[in-house]
Amino acid sequence: MVMGRASAGSLLVALAVLAPAVTAQTCDDELPAQLAGNFSGLACAPVWNNFVLRYAQGRDNVLRVVLSTMYSTGWVGMGFSKNGLMVGSSAMVGWMGKTGLPHIKPFSLGGKTPSQVVADQGFLVSSDHHKPTVLVQQAKIYLAFQLSFTEPLKRQNVLLAFGSAIPVNDRLSEHQDKTSIVFDFTTGSSSSSSSFSEGLKRTHGALNLFAWGVLLPIGAIVARYCRRWDPLWFYLHAGIQFVGFILGLAGIVAGVSLYNKIQADVPAHRGLGIFVLVLGILQILAIFLRPNKDSKYRKFWNWYHHWVGRLALFFAAINIVLGIKVGGAGNSWKIGYGFNLAVLLITIITLEVLLWTRWKNNSGSTGAY
């Protein structure tokens, strides 16, 4: 069994059990005799429904864990994440096979589809003191293992979930339900975390998609194709861009808060976001430095303003697509933004053709005299 190195960053725990509980598990239940020797003296805390977590940390930063719950069939897993998300994490997963043989393996959770959850891979380091063990006794499953970390675990994000079938050829079924908590390994306390983080992620995505993907492109369209209605086009352009920038800035603030909470490892998305924000700020500052219409520098300012704005919108569109991907958004986000992008592109192409046709006709009329 091959495992990689784990950091003491955020802890993601993925758990699964399929059968309904017969009696609720408590910390008063004794461990099976097979586990009592290597896993004695553990602290205990109920974590979710019938899931009970027993744990202890040694001075050598070895975490001993026994995770138990009511069980009939299915799989149970405990995963660790560097950023609080399922994607990119590693997990220890155990189950009883159809022939009654116990199984426990490390898994790399590279994505949300079964094909991206790969057995015998990941960054976890198993302690040399005890091999991972799975036991089923009196309709309860016990997942026991020891992992080495670089430093003691403190407050960690813990995700709880369950699937629906016994793994076949080490292929895990998708979970049926999940929840998320922040577990403090120093005090044994826990608090809910998934609803807030998910809400913050949706807010970040919705604000930035509406600002950079809808409002700001519309403001740019007004500036290029509606100049015949002077000065109305200018006030519409300035007003739409200002509102779009404020909403985009609010979305970025939500993104920073989300990053500080879960420490998401998304350098490309984060870097592009910072770059687009800088371009947006430069556009706002350019308004206060705009030369008069009769200034010899006005044409250079126009070139700057037009192309920096287009560059910002181009990279913003790329970053929206990237954000939808790394954020694990559903098909509704993909279809919605794809439809919005298609409408914008069709509108721009149509207006551009009309604009060039009008310029060509005007040039032809001027040359006839």
Binding positions are: 204, 237, 269, 305
What does the alpha-carbon distance between residue 120 and residue 107 come to, in Å, rounded to a whole number?
6
How far is it, in rounded angstroms, from Cα 119 to Cα 79? 13
The candidate with the shortest Cα–Cα distance to 105, out of 87, 114, 115, 117, is 117
- Give whole-number Cα distances, 201 to 176, 256, 301, 357, in Å: 21, 10, 37, 44
Name the strand (E) or helix (H) holding 341: helix 331-367
| 77 and 16 Cβ atoms separated by less than 8 Å | yes
Using CA atoms, how far apart are residues 298 and 305, in angstroms rounded to an integer? Answer: 10
Structure tokens at 298: 């006005």
C-beta of residue 67 within 8 angstroms of C-beta of residue 85: no
Beta carbons within 10 angstroms of residue 41's beta carbon? 7
Structure tokens at 71: 């069980």
The Cα–Cα gap between 150 and 159 comes to 21
Share of the chain residues as helix, strand and coil, in percent rounded to the nearest 5: 45, 25, 35
Rg (CA), the chain: 28
Provide the token pair at 181.
């908590």
CA distances to 131, 167, 213 from 146, rounded to whole Å, are 8, 23, 47
Q: Which residues are annotated as a binding site for heme b?
A: 204, 237, 269, 305
78 within 8 A of 69, measured Cβ to Cβ: no
Output the furthest CA–CA distance in the chain (Å, rounded): 104
